[in-house]
């Protein structure tokens, strides 16, 4: 069980009085760090604030198809999580896995918010504003990115649709030209008084010759 003397060795708490440290111990609890054991997972709700008292652990993130170590907590006073004290959507940014035996102080995020409001009201207000601004900027950036992606997909879809449409339009125009040529030829034959028997003879001759061949 963590005691007041344990927290006094942590530089993070240098400015706190014994009474404040006692309050912190009262609302928190000790968590044992063991090699290979996971304390929290990336993406989970950051419902607790974790402060390293001794020992060490690695922080990793899932990138692509593998887990990549992005940092190590091995200095007393380093902390992680607790974001939901100021952001209702706060989540752990990495997964924490023990490397060497040690201990951590774990404090519920809502109690961390209560203590910070009571001890440092101005600083707590600034932190809350910072989280709110960051969340707003992130949401706007994601929305804009989504719109850009949607626009790109729409442009690609329009291109795929327009190409067959253009090909169909060209085919229709070519068919119309062929029909016009055929009708014009029939008109000339009618003007020259070509009889049905003569037309049948010409058509038989055309069939016997076969389709035209390209010149080499």
Q: Report if residue 128 sits inside a domain.
A: yes
Measured distance CA(121)–CA(20) in Å, rounded: 15
Do 160 and 74 sit in the same domain of this protein? no
Domain carrying residue 151: 122-208
Contact, 133 vs 82, CB < 8 A? no
pTM here is 0.62
Residue 81 placed within a domain: yes
216 — pLDDT class (breaks 50, 70, 90): very low
Segment 5-25 shows an average pLDDT of 94
What is the pLDDT at residue 33? 97
pLDDT at 139 over 50: yes
**Assigned domain for 162 exists:** yes
Q: What does the mean pLDDT of the chain come to?
A: 81
65 plus 155 within the same structural domain: no
Asked if residue 48 and residue 10 are part of one domain, the reply reads yes
Residue 54 lies in a domain: yes
Residues 96, 57: contact at Cβ < 8 Å?
Answer: yes
Q: Does 113 lie in the same domain as 135?
A: no
């Amino acid at each position: 069980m963590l005691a007041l003397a344990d927290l006094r060795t942590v530089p993070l708490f240098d400015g706190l009085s014994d009474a404040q440290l006692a309050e912190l111990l009262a609302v928190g609890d000790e968590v044992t760090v063991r090699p290979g054991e996971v304390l929290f997972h990336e993406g989970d709700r950051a419902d607790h604030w974790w402060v390293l008292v001794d020992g060490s652990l690695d922080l990793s993130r899932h990138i692509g198809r593998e887990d990549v170590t992005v940092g190590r907590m091995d200095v007393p006073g380093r902390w992680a999580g607790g974001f939901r004290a100021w952001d209702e959507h706060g989540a752990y940014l990495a997964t924490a896995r023990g490397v060497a035996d040690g201990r951590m102080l774990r404090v519920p995020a809502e109690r961390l918010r209560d203590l910070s409001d009571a001890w440092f009201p101005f600083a707590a207000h600034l932190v809350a504003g910072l989280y709110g601004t960051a969340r707003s900027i992130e949401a706007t950036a994601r929305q804009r990115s989504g719109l850009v992606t949607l626009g790109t997909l729409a442009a690609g879809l329009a291109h795929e649709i327009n190409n067959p449409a253009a090909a169909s339009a060209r085919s229709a125009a070519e068919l119309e030209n062929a029909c016009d040529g055929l009708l014009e030829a029939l008109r000339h034959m009618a003007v020259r008084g070509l009889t049905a028997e003569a037309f049948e003879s010409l058509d038989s001759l055309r069939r016997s010759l076969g389709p035209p061949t390209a010149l080499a």
